[in-house]
Amino acid sequence: MNYYRSSQILSALGLLGIFLLPGQALARTPATSSPAPVAGMPAIPANSPLYVVDVQKGVTPAQIKMGIETAAEGENMNLVGTLDIQQGLQQRGIKSNTPYVIYEVCNLVLGAKILQSMPEFGAFAPCKIVMYEQGGKLKLLTYLPTYALKYFPKNPAAEKVAQELDRQIITIMKQAASGGL
CATH 3.30.310.70, domain 48-177, yes or no: yes
The per-residue pLDDT for range 158-172, each reduced to its tens digit, is 999 999 999 999 999
pLDDT for position 132? 97
pLDDT for position 36? 87
Q: How far apart are CA 167 and CA 52, in angstroms?
A: 14
pLDDT for position 151? 86
Alpha helices, H only, the chain: 3-15, 61-74, 85-91, 108-117, 145-148, 156-177
Residue 103 dihedral angles phi and psi, to the nearest 5°: -100, 130
Q: What percent of the chain has pLDDT over 70?
A: 82
- Name which of 27-41, 78-92, 161-175 the model is least confident about: 27-41
Q: How far apart are CA 39 and CA 54, in angstroms?
A: 15
The per-residue pLDDT for range 47-76, each reduced to its tens digit, is 888 999 999 999 999 999 999 999 999 999
Report, as an integer, the average pLDDT of 123-130: 94
pTM beyond 0.85: the answer is no
- Name which of 7-16, 97-106, 113-122, 135-144 the model is least confident about: 7-16
Q: How confident is the model at residue 31 (pLDDT cuts 50, 70, 90)?
A: low
List the chain domain ranges.
1-32, 48-177
Q: Is the confidence at residue 15, as pLDDT, over 80?
A: no
**Mean pLDDT of the chain, nearest integer:** 84
